[in-house]
Structure 1
Amino acid sequence: MKTEFYTLGTFEFPADAVIIKGKLEAEGIAVFLKDENTINSYSMVSNAMGGVRLQVYSRDMERAKQIFDEIRNYATDDQGNPIVCPNCKAAKSEIYYSRRNLFFKLFPFFESKKYRCMQCNFVTRPAK
């Protein structure tokens, strides 16, 4: 029998993923951190690898999403105000990097920061 996993989120720093992992495990959900050991050993490759992936079994996906949404931090501007999606007006955005070409995969720190709305998936650049 093949086991399916769902990636609940990705994190640049393993410590951020471990906090969420602890909460999900306390709620009885099995959690796996993909690439955690590699990024702990070689932190400079985190962006190139796409960060630490927090994964749960697909059967636990809905419950894990509910818990994660209750405790997650959404993107904020420099004054601490939540980033509001210009498309649907939701205040649930996360920092997003597309890494669509080889240059940005090799040198991710050159890609400009964008935000992706977690409600409608609209991608926008920050206001200057």
Structure 2
Amino acid sequence: MNTTREPAWQEETTAASSRTERVFMDEGPIRVTSARFLVPGNTFAMSGVTSVRHIEKDPALVFGYLLIIGGVFLCLSPSLIAMGVIFVLGGAIYLWKGKGRYNVRLQTASGEIKALTSRDKDFVRRVVYALNEAIVYRG
């Protein structure tokens, strides 16, 4: 069963011209149209975007492992067992709850730009899908 849903495209006329601008995504501060990609603090012209991709960056798991190893060594000393248990539990929770970061990268004539970073993988995939649809629509 496919759980991805096709976005409902909207069309609106821009105030600056009588040209219709198709809206591919409008979720909170993120907006993808046939002409623009708006993120907080930046607006990218879709005419300058040649390709888009998402990058997954794994969480820094080393920190969690170091907490666990340090906790095990602390548990070897009878007076520091409580602190060692806290370190081990903290490291285990960090590894269990650790989420990666996901980036939207735009390729333009001036190079690659990291346009958006989020911990929500599905959200980043929806943004990339909308950007790809905008590029195809633009032609």
Q: TM-score, normalised by structure 1?
A: 0.23
Q: Larger strand proportion, structure 1 or 2?
A: 2
Q: TM-score, normalised by structure 2?
A: 0.22
* Higher Cα radius of gyration: 2
Larger relative contact order (CA 8 Å, sep ≥ 6): 2
